[in-house]
Amino acid sequence: MLALFAEAGRIFIFLKNAILVGLTPPVFPRQILDQMLKIGYNSLPVVGLTAFFTGAVLALQIYIGGSRFNAESLVSSIVALGITRELGPVLAGLMVAGRIAASIAAELGTMRVTEQIDALVTLSTNPYRYLVAPRLIAAVICMPLLVSIADTIGIMGGYIIGTRSLGFNSGAYLKNTVDFLQFDDVSSGLIKSAVFGFIIALMGCYHGFNSKGGAQGVGRATTNAVVSASILILAANYLMTSLLFSE
User: Which residues of this chain interact with other proteins, rule CB under 8 A?
Assistant: 26, 28, 107, 111, 114-116, 118-125, 130
Q: How far is the CB of 122 from other proteins (least distance, A)?
A: 4
Q: Which is nearer to other proteins, 71 or 119 (CB)?
A: 119
26 preceded by cis ω (within 30°)?
Answer: yes
| Whole-angstrom distance, CA of residue 179 vs CA of residue 108 | 46
The amino acid present at 52, given as its one-letter code, is: F
Q: Which is nearer to other proteins, 25 or 45 (CB)?
A: 25
Q: How far is the CB of 210 from other proteins (least distance, A)?
A: 14
Q: Which is nearer to other proteins, 111 or 195 (CB)?
A: 111
Q: Which is nearer to other proteins, 2 or 123 (CB)?
A: 123
Burial of 123 (0-12, 13-18, 19+ CB in 10 A): exposed
What Cα–Cα distance (Å) separates residue 137 from each residue in 29, 81, 94, 132? 10, 28, 18, 9
Q: Which is nearer to other proteins, 113 or 149 (CB)?
A: 113
* Beta-carbon count within 10 A of 167 CB: 9
| Whole-angstrom distance, CA of residue 75 vs CA of residue 79 | 6
| Whole-angstrom distance, CA of residue 109 vs CA of residue 147 | 28
The amino acid present at 8, given as its one-letter code, is: A
Q: How far is the CB of 119 from other proteins (least distance, A)?
A: 4
Q: How far is the CB of 221 from other proteins (least distance, A)?
A: 17
Q: Which is nearer to other proteins, 56 or 139 (CB)?
A: 139
Q: How far is the CB of 17 from other proteins (least distance, A)?
A: 12
Q: How far is the CB of 212 from other proteins (least distance, A)?
A: 11
Q: Where is 49: in which H helix or E strand?
A: helix 44-66
The amino acid present at 131, given as its one-letter code, is: L
Q: Where is 67: in which H helix or E strand?
A: none
